[in-house]
Structures are given as C-alpha cells and as structure tokens.
Structure 1
Amino acid sequence: MGNQIDNHDFVKEQYKNDDNLNARINLHSFNINKIDWNTWFFEKMNIPENSSILELGCGNGLLWKKNEQAIKETLNITLSDFSEGMLQSAKQNLKNEKIKYQVIDIQDIPYENESFDIIIARHMLYHVPDIDKALSEVKRVLKRGGKFYVSTNGKEHMQELERLVKDYDKNIEYDLQKFPNKFGIENGEKFLKKYFSKVLLEEFNGQIVVDKLEPVVSYIMSSTNFRRKMLDEHKLDNFYKYIETEINKVGAFRINTKAGMFIASSP
C-alpha cells in the first residue's frame, strides 16, 4: 500500500467513522499523566469571551465533550471535519445546540478573510496533501491578533509499540514516525513560521501503562494497512497470543508518549 497518510481516499477510509479513533483513544486512557490531554489542550488555549472558533479535523468532538462545563455561552463555535461520518459522531457526542458543524477541507476553507479569532487543528496536518496550502488558508481566515492551535506528535512517540510489531514480523508496514516526519514537533515550527509571526511549542509527554491485551491489539489494528495484513483469522490469533506473551513477561506494557501543541500568532 505504501505511505499514504496524506492520500484523500486512504484518509476517508481510515476515518469514515470514529471506530479507529476510539480504539486509539481507548489505549491513551491508560496514560498515567495526572491531567487528561483534552483538558490540558483546552486550558492552554485560554479562550477569551465572544471568540469565534473554527476547529478543523474535529473528529468525534472529544475536545469539546471533555470540556463541556467550561464552554462559555458567548463562544461562536464551528466544528469541521473532512469526514461526514466523523461529524455525525461529533453531533451525537455533543448536546450544545449552539455549535455548528460543516464538512471542510483545510486546503480550501469556505470563509471570508479574517473570519475567526481562534483556529484549531489537532493531529491532522500530517494527513493533508499540501501543508503549505492549508496553512495559507488558515492564515487567511484567521483575524489579526488571532491564534492558531495545532497539535502533533514527536518522533519518539509510542516507539515501543512500533518495535513490538516489528519484532513480531519485520515485514509488516507499521511506521509511526511517518506522521511526525511529515509534520511533527521537530519540524512543525519550520512550516508555521512561513505564515505566522510568533510560534510557541508546549509539550505534553507521558507514559501509557497497560496490562490488558485488547487495548493494545485494537490500537494496532486501527491501522488500515496492518488490519489488511491480519484479515486471515489464523494470523490474527497468532498476533493476539504474541501480544499476550509480551505483556505477561513484564506484567504491563509501557509506551512513552510525546505530543505537543504549537501556538501560532497572526500579526
């Protein structure tokens, strides 16, 4: 299949609904960080009253679901995603009738210049075919003095999981570094500084400690390419046994996480 992380058809298939996303969220729920990622991200934004907000690639709306009690009545929020299925999941998860929903491709945002005070893009820019075109669009619709909050992973993110798969079968394509290689903590500032006057990085590192088989297997199986390799029931059964053996060796599997948020300011 090759490296297709920014292929529209691949992304549509991967995120046609929130099943794969939920599998990933479930494994991250075992992170021993004292603060939840979505809570941390929301608090870092420190959103002013009366802000107009656009989230691009909102997924199932978990950022807003986790912080429902903190959403101010004065906010004008539009949640968007490339996937209609994801937007439907977001609508079902959120009960705030003031929130608007729209299918949007970040490379062609259907709004006038300087329409939003805040724009959010979480863990999605590495799926975009033309990052420069996307950032040019974000800058165009962001008001002067506005903030762009964009998150991604670092190259060290969950490398224990990648090694686990490679030790099982070195021929299986399971490369987690392809995401930060395209747009990550290490190179994101380079992209953003072409369009924004000030760029700040806030890091969020942690560790997943999981002693259960299912969350680990489900996370790995959420990769479309990997799942295709495992369609044979015999292969899948062997993989379950392998993961179970690895967890039993140490009692719990430990996975280091390295993520972060860029805060980019419009001049």
Structure 2
Amino acid sequence: MTANSPAEVAAQYATDRNLRVRIETHERYGVGPGLEPRVDELLALRGDEALLDVGTGPGDFPGRLHAQGHRGRLVGVDLSPGMVERARETYPGVEFVRAGADALPFPDASFDVLTARHMLYHVPDVPAALVEFARVLRPGGRFLAVTNAAGYMAELWDVVAEVVPDEPLLAGLLDSRAGSAVFSEQNGEGLVRAAFGDVRVDFLDSALVFPSPEPVLTYLESMTALQHLTGEDRRRVRAALERALAPHFCAGGWRVSKRVAFLRGVRS
C-alpha cells in the first residue's frame, strides 16, 4: 500500500492532528513571501462570489474569507468526516459538505470560483476531478489549484534518501514525496488545459529555516510512513534521521527551499 493510496490518505486525514503539525511548521519556520497573500492576489475576489474550496480540510481558507467579510456563498468540501466535523465546529458561518472531488453534490454552474489547494495529488482520478470542477463552475468561472512544484523541499528529501539504505522503513517517506508528482506543475498544466481549454502557471518561492533537527523530526513524524512505526523501530529510525540531519546545523539554521505552483483556468 503506497502513502498516496485512498486508504492511507483517509487514515492520514481522519482528523486534522497531523495536518496541523505541518501547517504550524510552515507558519513558525517559514521565511519569504507567504502563501495566503499570493492566493488572494491571484484570486482578486470582489467579495460576492460563490466560492467552493475542494479538499478544504479543517476549513481554514473559506473560514478566513468569511472572517474577512466575504459576502458570497462559501462552501468547503472534504472526503474526511473528521475534517468536515472539525470545520463545522470551527467556522459555523461557512457551509461544509462531505464529498469526493470527482462527485460533487452540486448542480451544474453553481459557483463563480473553485479552489483546490494542496489536494489534487491525493485524488485517484485527477482528470475526472477536473471535469467535475469545470461542471460546477459557471461560464467564466475561475479555477485555482495550489500544488508543490518540482524540487519542493528537495534538501529535506535528499537527507531522507541518504538514510533509506540503512533504514528501509523510511522508504515510505519517499513514497510521500513521489505522491506529489501525481499533480505538480509538470503534469498539471496539461491536465488543467484539457479540462478548461487554457491554463496559467505561476510560482511562489520561499523557504523553511529550521533552528535544530527537532522540528524537522516532528514534521516527518506527522507523515503516514512514520505514523505506522512503534516502539524500537520508531526510536531507531528517529535516531538515524537525527544523525543525518546534525551536520546541516553546524553553521546555524538549516534552510529548506520551497516552490509552490499555482495553476489557473477559466470555465468556457
């Protein structure tokens, strides 16, 4: 079973606990331009659009828009019952629905804007999902996907790859990295063009600067591959990763580069 299988994805996102670890890591250690301002710039919302956020997780994005005074309909969709429950509790002013990306429970032409943020690489049938996205958008409706670009956090994954020969249990982490290739700017451009007829691709470059190995280990331990480990296996793998990371902190903080891709389409 791969880290990107439906069963593994369901287990990883049954609640927002592991996702929160990763979100907080990016918030605490991120440097450079932020994701949310760039999303707002690209969407350029007037405030009255009907917006659907697919793969909404705990609902932070539509929840933020509502808190900022967005007047149009805001809907978040997620396949995880736990995520939908948490989103409803946290953001009562937003509508949240449990559904899959390729079977949205809305009539044709229901929304002006549809966003899919860091989720399409978890979808088993990306082309089917994109066709569904286009179906629920009104003519002229706008689509925005956010995904990891090629080379995202390459420095971190290179360290993991160094350890895998001695600790094969870590190979699942590299499967997680490979999962992002299911939808990146490299193949996503063609997929979005097939569904929408045209596509625009933009990038955001930033980084994480870690002060010590500990937050790196915490980040990795939030991922599916290490969640399965218990007892001695978990301690041994953690120690191996810590040894591999240590040389990168000899001169202070360790910088891990991030490149995020934004793919936009318009419903014809």
Q: TM-score, normalised by structure 2?
A: 0.89
In structure 1, the partner of 2:88 is 91
Q: CA deviation at 1:84?
A: 1.4
Q: CA deviation at 1:199?
A: 1.0
In structure 2, the partner of 1:60 is 58
**Counterpart secondary structure, 2:199:** strand
> CA 1:229/1:188 → structure 2, altered by over 3 Å: closer, same or farther?
same
> CA 1:231/1:55 → structure 2, altered by over 3 Å: closer, same or farther?
farther
In structure 2, the partner of 1:148 is 143
Cα pair 2:148 2:259 within 8 Å, conserved: yes
Alignment of 1:222-233 (within 5 A): 222-229=222-229, 231-232=231-232, 233=234
Cα deviation per residue 1:217-247 (whole Å; 9 max; x = unaligned)? 1111122113324642531552464266235
In structure 2, the partner of 1:248 is 249
CA distance in 1, matches of 2:3, 2:229: 16
Q: What RMSD in Å do the two structures reach over aligned CA positions? A: 2.1
CA distance in 1, matches of 2:238, 2:202: 41
In structure 1, the partner of 2:156 is 161
**Counterpart secondary structure, 2:191:** helix
**Counterpart secondary structure, 1:207:** strand
Q: Give ranges in structure 2 of 5+ residues lacking alignment.
A: none
> CA 1:231/1:14 → structure 2, altered by over 3 Å: closer, same or farther?
farther
Supply the AA of the counterpart residue of 1:56. V
Supply the AA of the counterpart residue of 1:187. N
**Counterpart secondary structure, 1:27:** helix
Cα pair 1:79 1:102 within 8 Å, conserved: yes
> CA 1:190/1:243 → structure 2, altered by over 3 Å: closer, same or farther?
same
Cα deviation per residue 1:242-261 (whole Å; 9 max; x = unaligned)? 26623532321211101121
In structure 2, the partner of 1:263 is 264
In structure 1, the partner of 2:20 is 22
In structure 2, the partner of 1:135 is 130
Percent sequence identity over aligned pairs = 25
**Counterpart secondary structure, 1:156:** coil
CA distance in 2, matches of 1:77, 1:180: 27
> CA 1:182/1:19 → structure 2, altered by over 3 Å: closer, same or farther?
same
Cα pair 1:230 1:236 within 8 Å, conserved: no
Instruction: Please identify, of 38-47 and 234-243, the stretch whose mean Cα deviation from structure 2 is larger.
Output: 234-243
In structure 2, the partner of 1:221 is 221
Q: Give ranges in structure 1 of 5+ residues lacking alignment.
A: none
Q: Which residue, 43, 46, 49 being the options, matches 1:45? A: 43
In structure 2, the partner of 1:112 is 107
Q: How many residues align?
A: 261
In structure 2, the partner of 1:182 is 182
CA distance in 2, matches of 1:237, 1:201: 38
In structure 2, the partner of 1:75 is 72
Q: CA deviation at 1:204?
A: 0.9
CA distance in 2, matches of 1:49, 1:167: 48
Supply the AA of the counterpart residue of 1:199. V
**Counterpart secondary structure, 1:198:** coil
Tell me, yes or no, if structure 1 residue 32 matches structure 2 residue 27: no
Supply the AA of the counterpart residue of 1:84. P
Supply the AA of the counterpart residue of 2:112. D
CA distance in 2, matches of 1:246, 1:71: 47
CA distance in 2, matches of 1:231, 1:185: 39
> CA 1:227/1:15 → structure 2, altered by over 3 Å: closer, same or farther?
same
